[in-house]
Amino acid sequence: MFALNLPSFEANIVHADNQNQIFDILRRRYVALTPEEWVRQHFIHYLIEQKHYPASLLSNEVTICLNGMTRRCDSILYNNAGKPQMIIEYKSPSVRITQKVFSQILAYNNVLKVGYIIVSNGMQHYCCHIDYSTLKATYLQNIPDYNTL
């Protein structure tokens, strides 16, 4: 595919059903290799391998109900009690991260009420911590290590 602003990893890619597919370690199956999926797989490996996020607490393509409609969050990090702690939204590297992208993830957060939201197109990454006691959102310089959440 193409280089991203994320550490590389050994991607398991096969050609099946007339398309390239990449193995998703969280869903434990091959999925279509789209530019957005390329970003997702790099980011998930980065979180697990570099930031020490437990794979067992991460899920991809999580369905939620938003205003009576079914939506899918790209990735969610749960805490040990099974409560969502972080939402991660991925875009293709060709997609600019705009207010519209943030509005999408904030709409998901109206349902989940997480403390952290991340948006990445593989080249740029934005992480925001939400403090519900003060109703203040703070953009972080770096993606936090798991043990600091």
β-strand 84-90 against 116-120: which pairing, if any? parallel
Q: Taking the domain 18-148, which CATH number applies?
A: 3.90.1570.30
Domain ranges of the chain: 18-148
Tens of each residue's pLDDT in the chain, 149 residues: 789 999 999 999 999 999 999 999 999 999 999 999 999 999 999 999 999 999 999 999 999 998 899 999 999 999 999 999 999 999 999 999 999 998 889 899 999 999 999 999 999 999 999 999 998 999 999 999 999 99
C-alpha span between 25 and 79 (Å, rounded): 19
Residue 113 class from Cβ within 10 Å (0-12 exposed, 13-18 middle, 19+ buried)?
A: exposed
**Amino acid, res. 43:** F
Look-up of token digits 């999408």 = 104
pLDDT at 80: 95
Residues in CB range of 136: below 8 A, 6 or more apart = 130
pTM across the whole model = 0.95
Give the Cβ contact number of residue 36 at 10 Å: 19
> What's the pLDDT at 11?
96
